[in-house]
Amino acid sequence: MSTHENLKELLNLEAIEVNLFRGFTHDQRQKRIFGGQVIAQALMAAYRTVEDRVCHSLHCYFIRPGDPNVPILFQVERARDGKSFATRRVAAIQHGEQIFNLAASFQTPEDGFEHQLTMPEAPAPLSVTDDFEERKRLAANLPPRAAAGFLRPMAIQMRSVDPQSLSHPKILPGRQQVWMKSTDPVDDDVAFNQAVLAYASDMSLLGTSMRPHGIVWTTPGFQSASLDHAIWFHRHSRFDGWHLYDQDSPNAHGARGFIRGEIYSEDGTLIASVAQEGLIRYRAPEM
């Protein structure tokens, strides 16, 4: 196994019974399971019950924090199998309780009308500094255990066009662009590439709603969590090539931030659209 999260192993679920699968978390140093992991694994569980159809949308809710030290059970409900569309519902279970649920719709591929937004302007991915360089700079001033977390290689490479400083955050517009791709090569399998995209889609997104407030993950008194997440898959793309994640946050209210994202391949093809609402709660530390 490579030094970073191996997505092929992570997304290769164990079949326990009809409609019942088991997934694992490889990095157990986390306090809670990364949301993108649960989305991707649940999507793969749903795909294991579908034939000759492609997911075109999924909608999910994060209910409880996931425990990285125990397996996740994914229970699939075959809600409907129609002539063109199939619907699946997936419940992710730990300690006898749902931690997450997902509804996904799958379609038999067919031709139809075509149009898309034009990809916004952005610098070329290799002209942007790798986010890992900022992590290394910060790790130099952290205790060894905290530094190890910052220096853990990632399954997704990221290059932020206008990154927020984690050490000296400032107020920025509620927009950001991030180039991303899988660290490891992938093949042409549509289901796996969609799952990798789903995994990556939860990265950087909630931070977009924090930018107008000059808040980052490490700000004392700040609490955050993904609440719900939706993806619309428009076209197929191999995720080992660079993709632009263009994001904006049109609203924050009631300790919740709302974010939208469009994912484009490097040639400008719109691959997927994403929306998320997350908890962004700040309580000033007691003096």
Catalytic site positions: 202, 226, 276
Rounded to whole angstroms, the Cα distance separating 266 from 153 reads 23
**Interior angle at CA 249, CA 246 and CA 250, nearest 5:** 125
CA distances from 127 to 5, 124, 159, 209, 227 (A): 25, 5, 9, 25, 34
What single string gives the DSSP state of each residue in 77-90? Answer: EEEEE-SSEEEEEE
Quick one: three-class SS letters along 251-275? EEECCEEEEEEEEEECCCCEEEEEE
Q: What is the 3-state secondary structure (H, E, C) of 183-201?
A: CCCCCCCHHHHHHHHHHHH
Nearest one of 51, 53, 58, 62 to 89, comparing CA atoms: 58
One-letter amino acid for residue 262 of the chain: E
Contact, 31 vs 180, CB < 8 A?
Answer: no
HSE, side-chain direction, 13 A CA sphere, residue 40: 27
**Cβ neighbours of residue 55 closer than 8 Å, sequence gap 6 or more:** 43, 46, 47, 104, 105, 106, 191, 194, 233
Read off the tokens for 102: 């997902």
Which among 94, 44, 39 is positioned nearest to 70, based on CA atoms? 94
